[in-house]
Amino acid sequence: MNRKIKGVLALLLIIPALLPLLRSDFFPIHDYTHVARLVEMDQAIKDGHFPVRWVKDLGWGYGLPLFNFYAPLPYYLAQAFHLAGFSYLLSIKLVFSLTFFIAFSGMFLLAKKFWGKGAGLLAGLALVYSPYRALDGYVRGALGELMAISFLPWVLGLIVQTVDQKEKKWLGLGGLFLSLFLSSHTVLALVGLPFFGLTAFFYWFFKGRKKEAAVRLTALFLLGIGAAGYFLGPAFWERGFIQTGGLVAGYSHYRHHFLYFRQLLFGQWGYGESVAGIEDTISFKLGEAQLALAFLGIIFSFVQLIKSKKIEKKSGLVIFSSTLILFLALLTSYHSQPIWDKIRLLTFIQFPWRLNALIIVPLAFLVGAGWFYLEKGLARKWQKAGLVTLGLIMIFTNVFYFRPESYLQPEKLYYTDKNLIRERMSEVIPDYLPRWVEEKPGKAPQTEIQLIKGEGKIETVYTDTNELTARISNQKPSLVQINRFYFPGWELSINGRKQEVEINENGLITFPLKEKGEFGLRLVFKETGLRRTANFISLFSLLIIVGLVLMPERKKEQGQ
């Protein structure tokens, strides 16, 4: 059987996990806003607004800087599908489905490098069929988190390749996949960087602490962060312009979402919610089959360690992965609350159990280790049968979780209508309101622009996501209100001359017209100096990445 056929058969093993996504209808999930977000991105891009930062209809029709802070990559991918002719909903479903294949292939390649092909297959299945991924996909609907999880093994594998190999393409690919990870999920970007940094340091140290490898790793991280700078820079430096209290307070405060260790091992599956204590109506378990095989890998590795009386590469990797899992598991538990209380940055993670997104990758890696040692103890004629059996166990013990609680007709929840997005989705997505908005408006404005004081006539000439033009016939001094929330980047000009704006108590743009007459108004959302710099850094980093990946390596001449 050739390699391509084996690859296709391996990918077919993923299909049972995504069967519900192949139906024409859809299902309820906690975060059912993806279609609305895609509709808003689609409109912004068609209006010539790129990279997308501002969306028009959310915020009750007053607009929001949504994609300035909410990781945009999953929606850019969905937009590519939509531009290819797929519906909004099908485009979102395709991105959900894509995460399964990205996760499997990345985990397969990472585990294969150290444990062999069979181990790579089992590790890939262990990650794809992780109950936590089922929770993200069919309960929470955490598309961005699923996407970030899928890139995790790719980044780890390319970090390893960058240490092991001098070819520049691995450095370039590592920077590229790191940037994809960082652009997929804002919170996981926050915890993922130290996770990658710790892993990179360990592997570099373990492999001999070569200076050239350290330089390559540093360049990988700089390129990855730089390529994602168009998003990371504004998201970090402009966070003071939005209301972040709601993101880390109330239900989203971390103190309500610690786990007990037994919840990582057991727990009844459900479609409810996370609550304080142990009465959660959703499950956070890591998977019995995954834990059993990983435990075997640890046991066999320690037996080998005792026999050899020295830490070899494989046993070192097992020790590091096990330690990493235990440390992350500790951080999910209520025992770690003093740590969370002292490190303010952790509050933005919101849910300590979200660290399961990191745990399941080294856990899948240890599954590969378990098969590696188990295979060595089996007679050759039983090895294939053992691999098939364990693969089927991995699938059938977890596939039950990869289904929704129920199905529904998409139009009942997944709105594409602009008015429904304004009226209903704005209440569901109140995040990232500009800090000048003291009170949520609750309903959409009737007009784009209006006179608050004075007399006159206003005619809207053109309006889109990032621009508004109008003609004003002013009969006496007036105060004009533009029904868009203020956010740095909005620039107003009257009769071609820049006009300073004021911000009222509702966070809306206002300005006075002190004279009567005819006026032409133009409001445009532009990139600030910070955003332009971030965009340039991203473009420059991407050009370097392309050069590293595509440029052929120079071969050393003989005798040199």
pLDDT tens string 90-108: 999 999 999 999 999 999 9
pLDDT band with cut points at 50, 70 and 90 for residue 558:
very low
Question: Burial level of 497, CB count in 10 A (0-12/13-18/19+)?
Answer: exposed
Q: What is the dihedral of CA 117, 220, 74, 13, to 10 degrees?
A: 0
Tokens of 268: 């009844």
Q: Provide, rounded to the nearest whole percent, the portion of the chain with pLDDT above 90.
A: 80
Q: State the DSSP H helix or E strand holding residue 452, giving kind and residue range, or none if neither.
A: strand 449-453
CB 461: neighbour CB atoms within 10 A? Answer: 11
| Cβ contact 323:311 at 8 Å | no
Tell me the average pLDDT across 33-47. 97
Gap between the Cα atoms of 243 and 232, Å rounded: 18
Q: β-strands 517-525, 449-453: how paired?
A: unpaired
> Distance from first CA to last CA of the chain, Å, rounded?
43
Alpha helix stretches (DSSP H) within 403-502: 418-420, 426-428
**Structure-token pair, residue 499:** 């006009």
Question: The dihedral of CA 444, 450, 454, 455: what is its sign?
Answer: negative
Average pLDDT for 80-92: 97
DSSP 79-123: HHHHHTT--HHHHHHHHHHHHHHHHHHHHHHHHHHHH-HHHHHHH
Spell out the residues 6+ positions from residue 155 whose beta carbon is closer than 8 angstroms to its own: 174, 177, 178, 181, 192, 196, 224
Average pLDDT, the chain: 93
**Residue whose token pair is 């069919």:** 138
**How far apart, in whole angstroms, are the C-alpha atoms of residue 194 and residue 180?**
16
142 to each of 124, 338, 345, 430, 435, how far by Cα in Å? 20, 28, 21, 17, 26
Cis peptide bond upstream of 51, omega within 30: yes
Q: How does pLDDT run across 103-143, given as a tens digit for each residue?
A: 999 999 999 999 999 999 999 999 999 999 999 999 999 99
Confidence of residue 557 (pLDDT cuts 50, 70, 90): very low
| Upper half-sphere CA count for residue 462 (Cβ side, 13 Å) | 9
Is residue 172 within 8 A of residue 549, CB to CB? The reply is yes
pLDDT score at 555: 60
* Buried residues in 216-230 as b, exposed as e (16+ CB within 10 A): bbebbbebbbbbbbb
Residue 124: what are its φ and ψ, rounded to 5°? -60, -45
**Are residues 223 and 541 in contact, defined by beta-carbon separation less than 8 angstroms?**
yes
Q: Are 450 and 458 in contact (CB under 8 A)?
A: yes
Helix (H) or strand (E) holding 177: helix 168-182
Residue 381, Cβ density class (10 Å: 0-12 exposed, 13-18 middle, ≥19 buried): exposed
Question: Which pair of tokens denotes residue 12?
Answer: 């077919």
Whether 479 and 510 have beta carbons less than 8 Å apart is answered as yes
What pLDDT does residue 137 have? 97
For residues 127 and 189, give the distance between their C-alpha atoms in angstroms, rounded to a whole number.
Answer: 19
What pLDDT was estimated at residue 559? 42
Q: Which residues, 6 or more positions from 100, have their beta carbon under 8 angstroms from its beta carbon?
A: 14, 17, 18, 128, 150
Summarised one tens digit per residue, pLDDT across range 162-200 is 999 999 999 999 999 999 999 999 999 999 999 999 999
Q: What is the DSSP letter of 444?
A: -
Mean pLDDT (whole number) for 303-319: 84
Cα distance between residue 172 and residue 363, in whole Å = 27
Whether the predicted pLDDT of 209 surpasses 70:
yes
**Using CA of residue 67, residue 71, residue 77, residue 81, what is the dihedral sign?**
negative
Is 415:424 a contact under the CB 8 Å cutoff?
A: yes
